[in-house]
Amino acid sequence: MIEQQAIQMEEQSINLKEQATKLKEQAIPAPARELIPRAHAAALAGIGDLAPSTMVIPNAHYLDPSILQAELRTTFSAPLLVSPSSAVPNPGDYLTMDLMGKPIVLIRGADRRARLFLNICRHRGAQVVEGSGCSRRLTCSYHGWVYNAEGSLVGVPGREGFGDLEVGTLGLVELPTEERHGFVWGMRDPDGVLDLDAHLGPLDAELAAWGYHYDIAASMELELSSNWKCALEAFMETYHFPYVHANSMVGQFTYADIVTFDQIGRHHRLGVPIHSIGTAPEPAEGEHIVVIYYIYPCTVIATSMLGGEMLQFYPGADPSTSTIRHTILSRQPISDPDAFYEDYVPLMQAVIRNEDAPVLERSGIGLGAGHTDVILGRNEIGCQAAHRQILADLAGYFEGASEKPVALRVGN
């Protein structure tokens, strides 16, 4: 088994090097170019940026139902990065999803605008569409009510039975939506105000510099028996790489436990050097770095020379469950015959499914048993930063309360 993995790793290494050679002549995005010297220096020094001290997160922060309810009302009332725009490239293209218990449909209208709607028929609440596809009309399978791609109700069988209704007011319930930087952003609350300028702050220019208009190579969802923050933490540090990813490309190609860190408003970025950056006094030519963005509140994007990975972390019905949505992005058109995602996608999905997920489940079980808090080291600076943003939300929510949850008693 180990011998087969070694052969597979060697073949994949050759394939990646060939792809890197093809991409070397392409312009390196400005944020990556900026970080390369710092990441290279950190790799040579054998140490990256560190937080001022360790941080202790009380066990209750992952288990207290009142904390989860507060997060839903505060943290998850912020604009959410819902999907890459390329999920619905053409008029009529649609994609359904569950957004923390709310059935949602993302659809591009005839006017080429992407919109988010509650996937709920206004008649009796059934979903009007399933899966993904392309159609100018969405027809509820329960009683045949029909909606167009802009969400308007355009067909009611047996119209005489509803003669006293104003059909024009019974379109699908729309969620605040905006497209920017190759992504669709939205709110969970139909009455929410989507102020993307305020939400992104200085990250707006940073994302613009990447030009995120990538094809989707693949996507998958995993249901976990662990808190959403427990899952999120694993993708904002590389401390675990030698232990969890020793036999996969993630562990083989990347400097472990060495990152640069930059706070960008409520968001942050990590620069992770890969081995091909070299050990010479100057970094090797090319984009030998992974830039990991935490986009508040629950999205992580890890870039690469090929494209990147987007991970979204959503709470489950109770504090000890969560969902990870994993999307592989490609800088190359997926239709390009030079694209090698047929081999690459299963390997990357296996890293998440077979390496990360089992460890996260074990962490969830351990935290669920109680008796132990979470200790975040100085080297887990990204995890600490994300927790501080979420804790600030909770502190504001419980301000003035006579009794504050134990989960807010965070210490170093």
The domains of the chain are located at: 2-73+200-408, 83-194
Would you tell me the crossing angle of helices 341-350 and 2-23 to the nearest 10 degrees?
Answer: 130
Q: What is the CATH number of domain 83-194?
A: 2.102.10.10
Higher pLDDT, 227 or 343: 227
DSSP-assigned letter for residue 220: E
Confidence of residue 25 (pLDDT cuts 50, 70, 90): very low
Q: Pick the residue with more confidence: 304 or 107?
A: 107
* pLDDT of 12: 56
Segment holding 325, helix H or strand E: strand 322-330
What whole-number percentage of the chain has pLDDT above 90?
81
Task: Locate 163 and state its tokens.
Answer: 């003669």
Residue 119 clears pLDDT 50, i.e. is over it: yes
Q: Which of 4-18, 250-264, 268-282 has the lowest mean pLDDT?
A: 4-18
Could you tell me the fold of the domain covering 2-73+200-408? Naphthalene 1,2-dioxygenase Alpha Subunit; Chain A, domain 1 (3.90.380)
Residue 9 clears pLDDT 70, i.e. is over it: no
Q: Rounded to whole angstroms, how far apart are CA atoms 128 and 117? A: 11
Question: Tokens for 47?
Answer: 């140490």
Do 238 and 257 form a contact (C-beta atoms < 8 A)?
yes
Task: Tell me the per-residue pLDDT of 349-369, one tens digit each, with 9 for 90 and over.
Answer: 999 999 999 999 999 999 999
Residue type, 383: C
Determine the Cα–Cα distance for residues 327 and 325; give it in Å rounded to an integer. 7
Angle at 249 between CA 243 and CA 255, to 5 degrees: 65
Task: For residue 19, name the pLDDT band (cuts at 50, 70, 90).
Answer: low
Number of Cβ atoms within 10 Å of the Cβ of 256: 17
Whether 116 and 104 have beta carbons less than 8 Å apart is answered as: yes
The pLDDT, as a whole number, for residue 332 is: 83
* The pLDDT of residue 78: 97
Residue 13 pLDDT exceeds 70? no
pLDDT digits (tens, 9 = 90+) for 214-267: 899 999 999 999 999 999 999 999 999 999 999 998 989 999 999 999 999 999
Q: What does the pLDDT read at residue 182?
A: 95
More confident residue, 313 or 9: 313
Q: What is the SS3 assignment for 122?
A: coil
For Cα atoms 132, 103, 351, give the angle at the middle one, nearest 5 degrees: 65
Backbone angles phi, psi at 207, to 5 degrees: -65, -35
167-181 in b/e form (b: 16+ CB < 10 A) is eeebbbeebbbbbbb
